[in-house]
Amino acid sequence: MKAPRFSRKTLCIPYAVFLLFFVIAPMLIILAYAFTDREMHFSVMNFVRFFSDPSKLSTIVYSIVIALITTVVCLLIAFPVAYILARSKMKKKFVIVMLFVLPMWINFVLRINAIRELFNWIGILGQANYFNTVFGMVYDFLPFMILPPYTTMLKIDDSLYEACSDLGGNGFTSFARITLPLSKPGILSGVTMVFLPSMTNYVVSDMLGNSKVTIIGKFIYEYFESDWHMGSMVALILLIVVFVSTLLSGGFKSEENVRGANL
């Protein structure tokens, strides 16, 4: 009797099963719920109700705006850090990288609670709910914006910079013509990793915005308390927003230099 041998096909089965049960089936269930009413008859009422209600559209718009601001602020902070770290000749670079990644290892709810106390001490808790929410999001997602550009920049060959200065390029030129284009995949992957979750991370808006800030994730959660059909419709619409924004940022392209960008 020979020992069982696993072919490539067999090794795919666990993932295929996972994909079927936890990715495809839930999506179909959401789709089914979104387009049915309470008696499970086909209905487009949820769709109509969503787009005829200014408060629902406002929530989507607010979520996107919060997510956009979060992403831009994260990028403004993270990109220079990633650039400096990647280009510097420091010996203990990893220590600094580690310091940025370290907060990710501490429980997220604990960190947000700590921020809450800090804001209370400063006196802005309950005063500037939107600012607090965005701050919390930035704090939470910053590491996701540092690492991908950093890893892509590490891979840039030094000879490119040498060639640039040989040809008379100054610091700005080398940044604009080499660093920026070549780290684009890293930036895009960072943007996706920050933008998408910050539309739905309602723990932050609840804790730091005292539940006065409603983002789309909270909306879905609240509908699922009472009306799964409307909740599924909102989830589906969010899915479309996410799909479109990923399409816009070119996340579906499979270029070879994306490699290493996705950690």
- The residues binding other proteins (CB under 8 A) are 2, 4-7, 10, 13-14, 17, 38, 53-59, 61-62, 120, 125-127, 129, 160, 206-207, 209-214, 218-219, 222-227, 230, 244, 247-248
Q: How far is the CB of 176 from other proteins (least distance, A)?
A: 16
C-alpha torsion angle, residues 38, 44, 46, 50 (rounded to 10): -170
Q: How far is the CB of 175 from other proteins (least distance, A)?
A: 17
* φ and ψ at residue 167, rounded to 5 degrees: -85, 10
Calpha distance 234→230 (Å, rounded): 6
If the CB atoms of residues 163 and 263 are measured against other proteins, the closer one turns out to be 163
If the CB atoms of residues 160 and 263 are measured against other proteins, the closer one turns out to be 160
From the centroid of its chain, how far is CA 122?
29
If the CB atoms of residues 212 and 263 are measured against other proteins, the closer one turns out to be 212
Q: How far is the CB of 88 from other proteins (least distance, A)?
A: 24
Q: How far is the CB of 157 from other proteins (least distance, A)?
A: 9
Calpha distance 218→109 (Å, rounded): 16
Residue 80: C-alpha distances to residues 63, 86, 87, 97, 187 (Å) = 26, 10, 10, 13, 12
If the CB atoms of residues 28 and 99 are measured against other proteins, the closer one turns out to be 28
If the CB atoms of residues 85 and 201 are measured against other proteins, the closer one turns out to be 201
Q: How far is the CB of 139 from other proteins (least distance, A)?
A: 19
- Reduced DSSP (H G I as helix, E B as strand, rest coil) percent helix, strand, coil of the chain, to 5: 75, 0, 25
If the CB atoms of residues 246 and 262 are measured against other proteins, the closer one turns out to be 246
Q: How far is the CB of 87 from other proteins (least distance, A)?
A: 19
- For 20, other C-beta atoms within 10 Å of its C-beta total 10
- For 197, other C-beta atoms within 10 Å of its C-beta total 17
Following DSSP, what letter does each residue of 30-90 receive, concatenated?
Answer: HHHHHTB-TTS-B--HHHHHHHT-HHHHHHHHHHHHHHHHHHHHHHHHHHHHHHHHHH---
If the CB atoms of residues 19 and 102 are measured against other proteins, the closer one turns out to be 19
Q: How far is the CB of 146 from other proteins (least distance, A)?
A: 25
- DSSP secondary structure code for residue 255 in this structure: -
Calpha distance 17→58 (Å, rounded): 39
